[in-house]
Amino acid sequence: MTHQSTHQGLLRFITAGSVDDGKSTLIGRLLFDSKAVLSDQLTALTNAKNKRTAGEQIDFSLLTDGLEAEREQGITIDVAYRYFSTARRKFIIADTPGHEQYTRNMVTGASTADAAIVLVDATRVTVTDGRAELLAQTKRHSAILKLLEIRHVIVAVNKMDLVDYSEQRFNEIRTAYTELAAQLGLKDVRYVPVSALRGDNIVHESDAMPWYQGEPLLPLLEELPVEEAAPEDDAALRFPVQLVIRQDGSQSDDFRGYAGRIEAGTVRVGQKLRVLPANRDAVVAEVLTPNGAAESANVGDTVTVRLSEDVDVSRGDMFVAADATAAPAKKLQADLCWFDDESLNPARKYVLKHTTASVFARVSAVDRVLDVHTLSHETGRRDIRLNDIGSVQISLQKPIVCDTYGDNPATGAFVLIDEATNHTVAAGMIRAYS
């Protein structure tokens, strides 16, 4: 199959799925076969004391499992990021843990991804009367991908060499995941049979599976479309203030600037802004970047903004366009992924961290909790337990300026922190607010 020679830009993707499905091995094989591993790394891997392969065969999982505990136990604990490129695209890979107790790390890795590779171990799927039953963690990770609105999912059916490259087994798993994707609402789902250890259908087509007419994994990744960034529109501006910079308050020419990262839109000199939640208007006098003064700055830029008049602005405030319809919100409807061993306590106040703002919050109602085994929703529960995914209503002590997660992930996401233990207990995605 011929490919266009145009460069497709940067793709961020993660691996997901249950423990021992072969996520780290797949990434290691992908890096190895795409010539992204240096010779000294290969030597170190061949002689590694904790490798789980015989003789001089390389244990590819060690390329991403860098922690000593990971190598000793043969599991992935923390998110490992790797960078590589081909002639057609640059990649940032996040290798995320499969263990249920490290679900929080998987959410962290997935939060910035454009795509996900869901690994399914062909040897661990139970098939009864031709119907395959996926593992619970595969379902949980897939549900999280939907919550985080990951637009592209590649299901890599791994360890095909251990099931004699069976087309029937592949089709059974594909049918099961297609049903799961329909229940969750995943849209763009693609399937490829692979053997990460042997390199089948990772970078090159496999002679062992002539029945598979699709492309190997790497060409699929090279061709995935990436959503373009939001338009650089003055009206869409979202600029959370991270730091108020003062030069010398005793001088008549005292400098007062507001530093932060532009999360949407454009800020430019002469632009009229509104400071929320105080609801005060001001005009941009100067935009300072790491390279000096500029006429404007766009989404993703870290800048310092100076206003033409003194306005009461603090960390956590938000600059929006003066004619924006944005309004501060004190009530949120959100989806939560619960991280903590201690269950949600509706009577307890938590600290909600949203962009640069921190406010006290209380979960006023639990609407439903997803059962990852049946994909049904439990209602009537008041608690959310470790690794549960629940839809809740949250009341805030002070208003915040937010968007829905679908409109802007940067201003539509938050974390909850237990003030007593300082544990990050949940990650949340805002679905509605008032």
Which pLDDT score, from 0 to 100, does residue 48 have?
54
pLDDT at 40 over 50: no
Mean pLDDT of 48-73: 50
Enumerate the H helices of 316-355 as residue ranges: none
Prior bond of 277 cis (ω within 30°): yes
Task: Name the residue with higher pLDDT: 44 or 110.
Answer: 110
Place 234 in a pLDDT band, splitting at 50, 70 and 90: low
Place 47 in a pLDDT band, splitting at 50, 70 and 90: low
Mean pLDDT of 238-259: 82
Instruction: Give dist(CA 158, CA 138) in Å, integer.
Output: 13
Q: Which segments of the chain belong to CATH 2.40.30.10?
A: 234-321, 329-433
* pLDDT, the chain, mean: 85
pLDDT at 135 over 50: yes
Could you tell me where the beta strands, DSSP code E, fall in 88-220?
Answer: 90-95, 115-121, 126-128, 131-133, 152-158, 188-193
Which pLDDT score, from 0 to 100, does residue 378 have?
82
Q: Are 97 and 106 contacting, i.e. CB atoms less than 8 angstroms apart?
A: yes
Q: Which segments of the chain belong to CATH 3.40.50.300?
A: 10-223
Mean pLDDT of 391-409: 94
Residue 365: closest CA among 337, 341, 333, 397: 333
Place 284 in a pLDDT band, splitting at 50, 70 and 90: very high
Please spell the DSSP secondary structure of 62-95, one letter per residue.
Answer: GGT--SHHHHHHTS--S-EEEEEE-SS-EEEEEE
Which pLDDT score, from 0 to 100, does residue 140 have?
87
Which pLDDT score, from 0 to 100, does residue 352 have?
97
**Per-residue model confidence as pLDDT tens digits over 145-199:** 998 899 999 999 999 999 999 999 999 999 999 999 999 999 899 999 999 888 9
Place 54 in a pLDDT band, splitting at 50, 70 and 90: very low
Determine what percent of the chain is predicted with pLDDT higher than 70: 83
Mean pLDDT of 363-384: 85
Place 63 in a pLDDT band, splitting at 50, 70 and 90: low
pLDDT at 65 over 80: no
**Per-residue model confidence as pLDDT tens digits over 99-131:** 666 677 788 788 889 999 999 999 999 998 889
Mean pLDDT of 83-109: 79
Determine what percent of the chain is predicted with pLDDT higher than 90: 54
Which of the residue ranges 36-40, 122-126, 208-212, 224-228 would you say has the lowest mean pLDDT?
Answer: 36-40
Per-residue tokens: 191? 């399937």
pLDDT at 44 over 60: no
Mean pLDDT of 240-258: 79
Place 61 in a pLDDT band, splitting at 50, 70 and 90: low
Mean pLDDT of 297-318: 92
Q: Are 418 and 340 contacting, i.e. CB atoms less than 8 angstroms apart?
A: yes
- Residue bearing tokens 């390199």: 199
Looking at domain 329-433, its CATH architecture is Beta Barrel (2.40)
Could you tell me where the beta strands, DSSP code E, fall in 239-387?
Answer: 239-240, 243-246, 256-261, 266-268, 272-276, 280-289, 292-294, 296-298, 302-307, 318-321, 329-338, 350-354, 357-371, 376-378
Q: Are 397 and 360 contacting, i.e. CB atoms less than 8 angstroms apart?
A: yes
Residue 342 backbone class (left: φ over 0; alpha: ψ -120 to 50; beta: rest): beta
**Residue 162 neighbours by CB distance under 10 Å:** 16
Q: Are 105 and 95 contacting, i.e. CB atoms less than 8 angstroms apart?
A: no
pLDDT at 229 over 80: no
Which pLDDT score, from 0 to 100, does residue 195 have?
94
Reported CATH class of domain 234-321: mainly beta
Q: What fold is seen in the domain 10-223?
A: Rossmann fold (3.40.50)
pLDDT at 77 over 50: no
pLDDT at 249 over 90: no
Mean pLDDT of 400-413: 93
Q: Which residues contact 247 (CB under 8 A, 6 or more apart)?
A: 254, 255, 256
pLDDT at 272 over 70: yes
pLDDT at 75 over 50: no
Q: Are 354 and 408 contacting, i.e. CB atoms less than 8 angstroms apart?
A: no
CA neighbours within 13 Å on the CB side: how many for 33? 22
Instruction: Give dist(CA 110, CA 177) in Å, integer.
Output: 19
Which pLDDT score, from 0 to 100, does residue 2 have?
41
Instruction: Give dist(CA 389, CA 428) in Å, integer.
Output: 10
pLDDT at 39 over 70: no
Which pLDDT score, from 0 to 100, does residue 37 have?
63
Which of the residue ranges 25-34, 186-195, 320-329, 405-414 would you say has the lowest mean pLDDT?
Answer: 25-34
